[in-house]
Amino acid sequence: MFSSFMTNAWLSGTIVAILAGVVGFFVVLRAASFAAHAIPNGAFAGAAGANLVGLNPLFGLISFAIVAALSIGATSRRSRSDVATALSLVLMLALGAAFLTLSTEYEPAINALLFGEILGVSSSQLLPVLLLAVLCVVAILALYRPLVFTSVAPDLAAAKGVNATFVEISFLLVLALATALTVPIVGALLTFSLMIGPPAAARLLSKHPARALTLSITLALATVWASIACSFEFNLPIGFFVGTFGAVLYLCARVSHARRAVRSVA
């Protein structure tokens, strides 16, 4: 399990977990799950397109993720945000379907993009992933106060002159970048699970933002490490374990939260 060919899997998994723990915490806080689901899928279409024209898939991932983030951010101010997100999502997916039809890529390559291939991460992939992840975390920390403020008390933040649109668009861009990084490693579908399950559980377990954020990172790390170990042990896709552990964590947090609520009433 800890042999040399697994080193990159452990390293990249750790980077992705920290990133998802940080970014996902704000996804949960801002109720932006739909955007967090739509952007990785849009990015998947970008990777398929880059494959078609022979570019590095990372370019396709990043550019499509940014386009998805901007279109969600720009249209959501004018109409219902969930409608805008849904339409951006299906448009990206349809483009992805068209790219896949045109390319001669065979099925395993597509499955890898959708479900991730953490064992296939090469050492040359690792450095750009690390740099971009650091960039994302730094951006989130720089935005920390306005992000929490506009999420928790939007009216007060507006009254204090915080530019909510700017904060929202910046956040979506960070989400896009984080997504583009995690898609090739854990896959488009599971990037999402990792950003929702552990942070949602953390938020139930602690009310204090900084403590919940730390807990979110810890739970995401635990999820990824346990998933890599199980995936190796049982020879099943890592995505299955990430999705299941995330949901189980959330359920446990719900139960403990409900118990505490009962106790505080009694």
From 56-64, 122-130, 167-175, 246-254, span contacting other proteins (CB under 8 A): 246-254
Per CB under 8 A, the list member of 86, 119, 173, 230 interacting with other proteins is 86
Does 171 participate in binding other proteins (rule CB under 8 A)?
no
Rule CB under 8 A: which of 4-43 touch other proteins?
A: 28, 31-34, 36-37
Q: Based on CB atoms, which residue is closest to other proteins, 181 or 196?
A: 196
State the SS3 of the chain.
CCCHHHHHHHHHHHHHHHHHHHHHHHHHHCCCHHHHHHHHHHHHHHHHHHHHHCCCHHHHHHHHHHHHHHHHHHHHCCCCHHHHHHHHHHHHHHHHHHHHHHCCCCHHHHHHHHHCCHHHCCHHHHHHHHHHHHHHHHHHHHCHHHHHHHHHCHHHHHHCCCCHHHHHHHHHHHHHHHHHHHHHHHCHHHHHHHHHHHHHHHHHHCCCHHHHHHHHHHHHHHHHHHHHHHHHHHCCCHHHHHHHHHHHHHHHHHHHHHHHHHHHHC
Does 83 participate in binding other proteins (rule CB under 8 A)?
yes
Per CB under 8 A, the list member of 6, 74, 98, 119 interacting with other proteins is 98
From 4-12, 58-66, 109-117, 258-266, span contacting other proteins (CB under 8 A): 109-117
Evaluate the CA torsion angle 246, 172, 78, 158 in order and state its sign. Answer: positive
Q: Based on CB atoms, which residue is closest to other proteins, 5 or 106?
A: 106
Q: Based on CB atoms, which residue is closest to other proteins, 20 or 132?
A: 20
Q: Based on CB atoms, which residue is closest to other proteins, 132 or 185?
A: 185
Instruction: Show the CA angle centred on residue 31, arms to residues 141 and 43, nearest 5°.
Output: 75
Q: Based on CB atoms, which residue is closest to other proteins, 33 or 63?
A: 33
Does 244 participate in binding other proteins (rule CB under 8 A)?
yes
Rule CB under 8 A: which of 53-72 touch other proteins?
A: none
Does 170 participate in binding other proteins (rule CB under 8 A)?
no
Site of interaction with other proteins (CB under 8 A): 28, 31-34, 36-37, 78-80, 82-83, 85-87, 89-91, 93-95, 97-98, 100-102, 107, 110-111, 114-115, 187, 189-190, 192-193, 196-197, 200, 236-237, 239-244, 246-247, 250, 254
